[in-house]
Structure 1
Amino acid sequence: MPIIEHNPPAVFPPYRAYSHAVEVRGESRLLFISGLNGYENDGKTMPESFDGQAELIWKHLATILASAGMTVSNLVALRTYLADPKYDEANGLMRLKHLGTHRPASTVVCCRLLEPRWKLEVEATAAT
């Protein structure tokens, strides 16, 4: 299944590991991943730091993708919700670390999250 990035030169250049649009062609499987947060496996404890929570979220994301026979290279869209704009730079670095050269469509929103201890939440869509 080809995944085609669309970054037309008439639109500003994408930055921080994303594409303006991602097209999935042909027959495909779609995986919609609910918002993931930084809870440990017990569902109660979580790291205090942004980096600790983000690493755990990317680990959870990789585990869920693997359960469907996919990897981060199958991600076609990411939505990241940050509890505070001050986490933007750290979030960008974390995305680069885990995505490498892969560039899914992406949106980052700063908002109040459901649990006050959460620093971020990540929702994703993947396709094969």
Structure 2
Amino acid sequence: MAGEIGFIHTTHAAAPGGHYAQALSYQGVLYVSGQLPVRADGSHSVDQPFEVQAAIALENLLAILDAAGRGPRDLVKVTVYVAGIEHWPAFDRIYARYLGEHRPARAVVPVPALHHGYLIEVQALARDASHS
């Protein structure tokens, strides 16, 4: 039997720039769309260093988790796209700072380019917090 899809939206993260939801919940799993480092107010950070862009993308992710009643410890899978593998060490340090001891499954995928010239995009899956 199909369950209801719950759409998640918060003004504390960048609004979708296309025909998609910030996140949706289905059968206890939260699916977070790819988060570029666009600030919650819609301003772009494409001219900022990688470290700043990574922090903004992760802050968007955490704001969406919060809006869905979840937190970083509910993350089960994170996929990160970086424009250039040279950014991997910096991302790993920043990611560890945001997630602390929690270590969800993760993939860091180097890509030749991202939309608008950004250097990072983060998407994730999270569990239902009530099952923690």
Residue identity opposite 1:52 in structure 2: V
SS at match of 2:38: coil
Structure 2 unaligned segments of length 5 or more: list them.
Answer: 1-26
Q: Distance in 1 between matches of 2:39 and 2:110?
A: 23
Aligned residues of 2:114 and 2:120 also touching (Cα < 8 A): no
Residue aligning to 2:7: none
Q: Distance in 1 between matches of 2:122 and 2:99?
A: 14
Percent of aligned positions with the same letter in both sequences? 31
Q: Distance in 2 between matches of 1:122 and 1:49?
A: 16
Determine whether 1:97 maps to 2:89: no
Residue aligning to 2:54: 54
Structure 1 unaligned segments of length 5 or more: list them.
Answer: 1-27
Equivalent positions of 1:76-87 (< 5 A) are 76-87=76-87
Count, aligned residues = 101
How far 1:112 sits from its partner (Å)? 2.3
Residue identity opposite 2:77 in structure 1: A
Q: Distance in 1 between matches of 2:116 and 2:82?
A: 11
Deviations 1:31-56 (CA, angstroms, capped at 9, x unpaired): 00011011123434215111111111
TM-score of the superposition, structure 1-length normalised? 0.73
How far 1:113 sits from its partner (Å)? 3.1
Aligned residues of 1:30 and 1:125 also touching (Cα < 8 A): yes
Equivalent positions of 1:1-128 (< 5 A) are 29-46=28-45, 48-128=48-128
Aligned residues of 1:78 and 1:124 also touching (Cα < 8 A): yes
Deviations 1:8-32 (CA, angstroms, capped at 9, x unpaired): xxxxxxxxxxxxxxxxxxxx61100
Deviations 1:93-115 (CA, angstroms, capped at 9, x unpaired): 01110111101111111002332
Residue identity opposite 1:93 in structure 2: R
How far 1:116 sits from its partner (Å)? 4.8
State the 4+ residue runs in structure 1 displaced beyond 6 angstroms: none
Q: Distance in 1 between matches of 2:65 and 2:116?
A: 27
